[in-house]
Amino acid sequence: MTMMDSLKWLTVYEMLLCALNAALLVWYALPVARRYRWIDFMPGMGVVIAAVSALTGDTTLLAIAIDAVTAVLFLCTLRRLFKPGDGVAAPRRLIAGTIRAVFCVCGIGVIGVAIQSSGELRYNPTSDWSHLGYAEAFVRLNDRFAVEYPFGEWKKIDWEAKRREYEPIFAQADQVNDRTLYYKTLREYLFSLRDGHVRIANEKLYAGNPIFKAEVGGGFGLSTLQLDDGRVQVTLVLDDSPAGRSGIRLGAEILQWDGQAAKDAYRQTTWTDSPNTNQNETINRGRFMVRAEVGRKVEVEYRNPGAGQAVKTTLQAYDDQFATLKQTKASIVRGAPPVEGKMLSNGYGYVKISSFLANTAEVPKAGLTSLFAGSSAPDPVDLLADCLQSFEAQHAKGVVIDLRDNPGGEDSIVTRMAGHLSKEKKLYGYASYYNRNVKKFSINYGEKYVVQPSKPNYGGNIALLVNGRTASSGEGLPLVLKGQPNVTIVGFTGTNGSFGVQTSPIQVVMPEGYIVESADGRSLNRDHVIQGDGDYTGRGGAVPDVVVPLNEQTFREKYVEGLDVELRYAIEAMEGRVSSPAAAKSQS
């Protein structure tokens, strides 16, 4: 059934090639003595079909695999076109016949694997509208999203309303050739979808983006965050910066910013370096409220920790090379192992999973010997298994798995890790994509992820630490483990709410060369309902079982004293001292 279902993802040309190649390979594999001259021309016909497919833009790995079989088949039978009595006619010798049959079986196997993987590797054309005007390109982008964006209905997006809102602004940018207005409006439109996977893939914010540099290239030497009660406090102060020289200290409360109450200035901040969802918007606003164009002066009123009186000062933005943004932005550290574990002094095991990618760790350099021995980066799943085995040997009282700032990776790695943390087989999710043949979203049953319990299997108490920057596949582990009696999810907020599937992403080349990119699929639960992604209310992701309050005490502990507040709450939850959001709040 899965093989037959996968056929629906093939293009017409791919279907023709698979049928033609499979028929020819079966024919040549059989010891048929009778020859038909017209069959000799069929491999050449396959090459023509492959060429037409490539000219339409289909250069996916799937198409390349099918085209490769077509090309090899053509080359192996080419002599038959000129010497009908030679070549691939049924061989008289057993060895030659066996070799030919094995070759044909291998070719059929390649076609079978290609069909089985066709959902993930399917052709999803890149639209190139870079030659159009701003308004026309936007309209076409909006029209494509209206059909193919995986979460349009889920988020209840009114695409016609989007067109009415933004088309006049793009038209205005057209009329006066205002590249800045065009770029900012394009970003605003994309970010209005509130999806972490919808972005301008090549905007290079920190590497020569002139508009970004002009608008928020200046820093004052500080970063902020808003507490649950609305107060805005300082999370970072750079040495020898305007903020530092003016006397602003870590933990200071910003009362007024540039003539506005701090909470109003915070709420009106729109610039960001990553798409906002409900879960990460607060963090991004705190980072960008205190950015401006280089040279701009702002009046600030603040109160330092322990001080009774507020202080007013004027700060001038300077070119800090985006220092405050870079220091507060989560990123994958290349060369660092994706999984690191240790025993804490209190008897609990701790594992940090920085990503679900297999290639972040550097391969040890041990000369040619290790190269020919096939050395490679360690498997993240094996690293987790080793940690769990070590914790069990040391009789750990429980295990904390830290997923904070985990940007995601590969769902296959997530499901394998979950197998070490779950006693029961369970569905992780189905992938659903827009099918160009039937003009609607369809489930790809060849891409069904299932958690299979595996050894070592840890059955003790588990706490998962998450935050608003736990995104994409990083949200998979808390989503699939949520509800297990031994699992508690802990965080100031839930995960990002951007759990879309990205195998053959939607790509559109817009005017000025900007490449718009979006996830192309959605993850479905066992009831075939979208899971993980934020809906029209903004709710989504994995919601913590224990919500850590962001109040004066927890802020001070985390950002001033440098304590790991979420870890403390996780330990308390496993010890039964905190068991619910309400209980967590009572701790403050």
Task: Number of helices (H) and strands (E) in the chain: give both, helices first.
Answer: 21, 22
Token pair 């010997």: residue: 369
At residue 588 the predicted structure's pLDDT band, cuts being 50, 70 and 90, is very low
pLDDT confidence bin for 85, thresholds 50/70/90:
low
Q: What is the DSSP string of 239-280?
A: TTSHHHHHT--TTPEEEEETTEEHHHHHHT----SS---TTT
pLDDT at 170 over 80: yes
- Measuring CA to CA, which residue among 291, 310, 305, 311 is closest to residue 241? 291
Spatial separation of the C-alpha atoms in residues 267 and 197, rounded to whole Å:
23
Would you state the pLDDT for residue 374?
A: 46
Instruction: Give me the mean pLDDT over the 59-71 stretch.
Output: 94
Residue 404 has pLDDT above 90, yes or no: yes
**376 — pLDDT class (breaks 50, 70, 90):** low
Lowest mean pLDDT among 194-203, 362-371, 481-490, 504-513: 362-371
pLDDT at 33: 61
pLDDT category, 549, cuts 50, 70, 90? very high
Provide the pLDDT confidence category of residue 366 given band limits of 50, 70 and 90: very low
* pLDDT > 90? residue 227: yes
Query: Average model confidence (pLDDT) for the chain?
Result: 90
pTM of the model: 0.88
Q: Which region among 21-35, 160-174, 351-365 has the lowest average model confidence (pLDDT)?
A: 351-365
Q: What's the pLDDT score for residue 167?
A: 98
DSSP string, 393-412: HTT-S-EEEE-TT---B-HH
Contact 17, 50 (CB under 8 A): yes
pLDDT at 584 over 60: no
The predicted structure's pLDDT at residue 361: 54
Distance CA 103, CA 496 (A): 49
